[in-house]
Amino acid sequence: MNEMNRVRLMQGNEACVEGALAAGLRFFAGYPITPSTEIAELLSERLPRVGGRFIQMEDEIASMGAVIGASLAGAKSMTATSGPGFSLKQENIGYAALTEIPCVVVNVQRVGPSTGMPTSPAQGDVMQARWGTHGDHPAVVYTPWSVGETYSLTVKCFNTAEELRTPVILLMDEVVGHMREKVALPAVGDLEIVNRRKPDKPSRDVYLPYDPGDGDIPPLAAFGDGYRFHVTGLTHDMRGFPTNDSKKAEYLHRRICDKVAKRRERITIVESRDTADADVVVVAYGGSARPASRAVTLARGAGVKAGFVRLVTIWPFPAEEVASLATHASRVLVPEMNLGQIAGEVERALKGRAPVTHLGKVGGVLFTPEEILDAIKGV
Amino acid sequence: MACLEDYLRKGSMPHIWCAGCGHGIVMNSLIRAIDKVGLDKNRTVVVSGIGCSSRAPGYMDFDTLHTTHGRALAFATGVKFANPELNVIVITGDGDASAIGGNHLIHAARRNIDITTVCFDNSIYGMTSGQFSPMTPTGRFATTTPYGNIDQPFDLCELVKGAGATYVARSTTYHAPLTVNLIAKALAHKGFAFVDVLSQCPTYYGRRNKIGGGVEMMKWFRDHAVQVQKSRGMSPEELADKIVIGEMHSSVKPEYTGEYRKIIDRAQGRGPES
């Protein structure tokens, strides 16, 4: 793309594709599912142009497996899906978390459970993005509210995945995925691009794929580099081989969670405005944050001291940031297109300092600003 | 040939397999075949699913990937497609390949992607202590068929052939030299190659079905095996309790990663239709 057309009208799903390619995506495996399909369609055309590879797999499970295999072969890899597919991918997402294979999973949320409403927006997968796979595991989840932010957050997802050696989830919703907005894409040279750390020892030396050395994230070689290492979804030692040693198991399971927890502040992105004197603070994210933002503006115009907090990172949950931004609030309102998922986290973060009201919607329609305004006013 | 031990990770021994288990023989045959074909250890990836057979890559000195149950071919497809220069071998069991991983098996065969799959086929779920699999013969006993199995087993070779695999063969642990030759041909083949190797599970299958220990089970393979050429002159009744061994199918079709290379060329304006 030349500089002339870096300002473009595009869809959220399209911005995700542009961001992924800018971040260095070279492998995509997917399965058709609404409302994420445009991502696969566009990448089937774009990836071979940059020497990358696109494959439509036989199912969602296979797509996730192929993404992990490709990442181990050295390619920055991604898949995209929606609720039903996200459910099917969960076992392999846990595999990537335990084996510390970087990859990006995009979930353009629709109404669930089950087949639900395939072309209608929802935010019902928030808890699944955190706890969808079995066992304790780390989760890094970003949620964009605009087309432009979808681009920048997709880049961030890859950077975080590569740096932390962990799967990262871009939790979009149908509103953002299908919405079209004017976007000014940054020049690719202006982007910070992170690539996974590779072992610096010559290949003939012994490489321990799960030895973090002085840090807490081990370097990752690619298959074919000559290290001849083992990767298993069984709990493993630093060599990568299965172990039943409880000390080694305790160490591994804590390390993969701690490496994310320790970087919580750096991972966390929260935006806010008008919170300093706010009586009512609205905490929103994703597509719902758009009418919420408008509602806060309308409330201020009507003389209500309302403040706005938008969560860009939802996992790890930005509890400290939310608590400090709502310090003086007498009430906190959480509008989300589900029956109460982030609201519970906000409540935990506030530890009873202010009552939390949840405003839910699960009929497949986005809030209007007026609906949220009424809730701000306590109507 | 090189010393077989050069292909093993002695540090990951002892292996988990029971006394009399056939899986060591199949792994041995695979290593001999790799040596025979001369694959570069640094450019060869061995991928497996879950089960007794799927522990084999942990003992083999290559880049090795022990995945989730049934998904070895999905992961292997990612490895091979992301870097087609690598030799990719899949080790799977009969339950892993034909039940939970059945969809991936037929689609890898359909794409004719250049992956060699070796099925360590012992007709039982050994790791979970002896439940019947889609390869357990009708009438046989397992911990979940206490009254006898009423399921019909697959003919895995016919299944993958029908799905599009371009090299298909079967052998048994008794016929080890044949197994080596068939796997070597599979490794040299360009496209999806499948070798079904019947292996014995004396602990759960042999004992429960009163066939005996490992040696008796291998003798059973010897006495019931029929070469594929000979089988063609036999009636279905004569073949009822037989194991047909040998090369079932070999053909040439466009290979997936090679076809995609052409897509890349076309997309980058180098192809004939650009």
Residue A244 lies in a domain: no
Structural domain boundaries, residue A297: 271-377
B19-267: CATH superfamily = Thiamin diphosphate (ThDP)-binding fold, Pyr/PP domains (3.40.50.970)
Which residues on B lie below 8 Å from A31 (Cβ)?
none
The answer to whether B139 contacts chain A (CB < 8 Å) is no
Residue A206 lies in a domain: no
CB–CB contact A69 B85 (8 Å): no
How many domains is chain A partitioned into structurally?
Answer: 2
Residue A299 host element (H or E): helix A289-301
Do A13 and A131 belong together in one domain?
A: yes
Picking from A190, A210, A234, the residue at the C-terminal end of a domain is A190
Do A142 and A26 belong together in one domain?
A: yes
Which residues on B lie below 8 Å from A95 (Cβ)?
67-68
pLDDT digits (tens, 9 = 90+) for A197-231: 999 887 767 899 999 999 999 999 999 999 999 99
Residue A212 lies in a domain: no
Q: Which of B61, B75, B267 sits opposite A65 (nearest CB)?
A: B75
Residue A336 lies in a domain: yes
Picking from A147, A164, A190, the residue at the C-terminal end of a domain is A190
CB–CB contact B266 A48 (8 Å): yes
Are B58 and A231 in contact by the 8 Å Cβ rule? The answer is: no
Q: In 3D, which of B118, B116, B105, B93 has the Cα closest to residue B39?
A: B116
**Segments of chain A scoring below 70 in pLDDT:** 1-5, 204, 379
Do A180 and A283 belong together in one domain?
A: no
The span from the first CA to the last CA of chain B, in angstroms, equals 47
Which residues on B lie below 8 Å from A65 (Cβ)?
67-68, 71, 74-75, 77-78, 104
CATH number at residue A127: 3.40.50.970
CB–CB contact B43 A224 (8 Å): yes
- Distance separating alpha carbons of residues B65 and A249, to the nearest angstrom: 19
CB–CB contact A223 B85 (8 Å): no
pLDDT mean values, one per 10 residues, chain B (274 residues): 88 95 98 98 98 98 98 98 98 98 98 98 97 97 97 97 98 98 98 98 96 97 98 96 97 98 96 56
Q: In 3D, which of B158, B153, B83 has the Cα closest to residue B114?
A: B83
Do A37 and A172 belong together in one domain?
A: yes
Q: Where are the domains of chain B?
A: 19-267
The residue type found at A158 is: F
Peptide bond into B236 cis (omega under 30): no
Closest chain B residue to the Cα of A53, Cα to Cα = B82
pLDDT at A1 (0 to 100):
47
Residue A197 lies in a domain: no
Q: Cα dihedral angle (B62, A202, A192, A161), rounded to 10 degrees?
A: 30
pLDDT at A202 (0 to 100):
79
Rg (chain B; Cα; Å): 19
Picking from A190, A216, A249, the residue at the C-terminal end of a domain is A190
- A to B CB pairs, distance under 8 Å: 144
CATH number at residue A314: 3.40.50.920
Residue A165 lies in a domain: yes
pLDDT digits (tens, 9 = 90+) for B24-60: 999 999 999 999 999 999 999 999 999 999 999 999 9
pLDDT at B266 (0 to 100):
97
ipTM comes to: 0.97
Site from B79, B110, B114 to mutate, A interface, most A CB atoms within 10 angstroms? B79
Instruction: Tell me the Ramachandran region of residue B129: left when phi exceeds 0, alpha when psi lies from -120 to 50, beta otherwise.
Output: left
The answer to whether B32 contacts chain A (CB < 8 Å) is no
Residue A258 lies in a domain: no
Residue A242 lies in a domain: no
Do A283 and A179 belong together in one domain?
A: no
CB–CB contact B107 A66 (8 Å): no
